[in-house]
Amino acid sequence: MDSNEVDKGHFPFESESMEEENDADTQVENTGGDTGKGKNVVQSMPSRKRKETSKVWKVFMKLPRGKDGRLRCKCKGCSKTYLCESTHGIGNMIRHMESCTKLAHHDIRRMLLNKGSQGDMVVSNRRDPQVVRDIISVVIVTHDLPFKFVEWSWIRRLIEYLCDDVTLVSRNTAKVDVVKLFSREKQKIKTMLENTPGRICLTYDLWTLINTDRFLCLTTHFLNGNWVLQKNVLNFCIMLPPHDGVSLAHKINTLLCEWGIEKKIFSITLDDASSNKSFFDLLKSQLNLKKALVCNGEFLHIRCYAHIVNLIAQDGLKEIDEVVLKIRECITYIRGSQVRKQTFLGCCKNVSLDSKMGLKQDVPTRWNSTYLMLQSALYYRRPWYSLELSDNNFKHFKGVYMQFLRGVNIAGLH
């Protein structure tokens, strides 16, 4: 074999024992036959393995010789095997590094040795098409993007630039990918719930939109095997009428059976809505029939302390209900027009007051938002005077300042 065909560091040697290596150091050949008069010739044999310096051996691992006596190596990523004897070279392994999708991103398959004299490195741009589609699905879900996001021209140009070997998909295919992603994540949560060593606590609530559609949200709280608190939203789905206790009990029981946790429930946290009492009694009866509750459901019902605090705060706000109503009208008036907003910002500038805080609009059913609204109104009380002088239609604030101070003292904002 021509010496130029043997690449340095790529000459394979078979693993030998120490005795065989010692015997191979010196071999004595008898040239005189049986007479004993022959001349002994001493031949020196190589006793040191040549170091393997090729980059392919960072990706491939040599295997023991097979039954056919041939030497093979295995890819550390996909476990594909190749012959690696000196007569085969390493070209096939280099080509495999370029195309293998199971190797890590930082692996040597991303960098192939150039045959040029300067030894520059060439970067491979190959990507796994399925991984790219999975990432796109996560992007759509995380950032609440439409499915036609994948058909936007500049997004397509970006993907083609980064991954020229990835096939672009349509919005219908993106929808299918998102549904598959949902199914995989749902199965992961279901498996985690099945493997939970303890019981599971539930919370649920209903929301009503402006168009009177109601949505139900079911959430779980539990400790995993490492005693780390977990919180997962199991379902956020539309709740069709009627919204009485019977319908709610049937809906929740169906969801629990779907997740396979109907026999692992410890408690359910509810507010004091009228429909929740009948719902709780029916669900408790259904679960007791399966003997799924601890102490026959004695600890099943947990009242929502946040709802109780909200009721206490709302009752206290009745003491300043008139002033809260007028302040809410003032803020609604200012925020109702872009022109009035700019006028109000000009009033803030005239009194050298920073306008970054902004006027807060409250939600009557959320007592903490009412607190934030009063806090912002107190901060901007001076610009309100300027606005009354510059806007003849702004009459809501007249005569309300003393009442406002009284409300501030009661609320403890001063």
Per residue in 167-179, pLDDT tens?
Answer: 888 999 999 999 9
DSSP state at residue 69: -
Name the 3-class secondary structure at 219: strand
Burial class (CB in 10 A: 0-12, 13-18, 19+), 403: middle
Which pLDDT does position 48 carry in this prediction?
Answer: 61
Give me the percent of the chain exceeding a pLDDT of 70: 77
379-387 mean pLDDT: 80
d(CA 127, CA 59): 18
Which pLDDT does position 184 carry in this prediction?
Answer: 92
pLDDT-derived band at 139 (thresholds 50, 70, 90) equals very high
Per residue in 219-232, pLDDT tens?
Answer: 999 998 889 999 99
Start-end of CATH 3.30.420 domains in the chain: 196-303
Which pLDDT does position 335 carry in this prediction?
Answer: 85
Alpha helices for 169-265 (secondary structure H): 171-194, 245-259
Which pLDDT does position 188 carry in this prediction?
Answer: 92
Which pLDDT does position 117 carry in this prediction?
Answer: 39
Which pLDDT does position 334 carry in this prediction?
Answer: 84
The mean-pLDDT minimum among 51-55, 68-72, 82-86, 398-402 falls in 398-402
Are the beta carbons of 127 and 168 closer than 8 angstroms? no
Q: Which residue has the higher pLDDT, 32 or 377?
A: 377
Taken in order 354, 355, 356, 359, the sign of the CA dihedral is positive
d(CA 397, CA 132): 58
* Average pLDDT in the chain: 76
The mean-pLDDT minimum among 2-16, 48-62, 218-232 falls in 2-16
364-391 mean pLDDT: 80
d(CA 279, CA 204): 12
383-396 mean pLDDT: 73
Per residue in 322-342, pLDDT tens?
Answer: 778 888 888 888 888 888 888
Which pLDDT does position 182 carry in this prediction?
Answer: 92
Per residue in 81-118, pLDDT tens?
Answer: 888 887 777 888 888 887 787 775 443 333 333 344 34
pLDDT at 314 over 70: yes
Which pLDDT does position 409 carry in this prediction?
Answer: 61
Distance separating the N- and C-terminal Cα atoms of the chain: 95
Which pLDDT does position 145 carry in this prediction?
Answer: 93
Which pLDDT does position 330 carry in this prediction?
Answer: 82
Name the 3-class secondary structure at 22: helix
pLDDT at 266 over 60: yes
d(CA 154, CA 200): 46
pLDDT-derived band at 8 (thresholds 50, 70, 90) equals very low
The pTM assigned to this predicted structure is 0.54
pLDDT at 344 over 90: no
pLDDT at 16 over 90: no
Which pLDDT does position 34 carry in this prediction?
Answer: 45
Q: Which two tokens stand for residue 302?
A: 């947990």
The mean-pLDDT minimum among 72-81, 95-104, 280-289, 354-363 falls in 95-104
Please identify, in words, the CATH class of the domain defined by 196-303: alpha beta
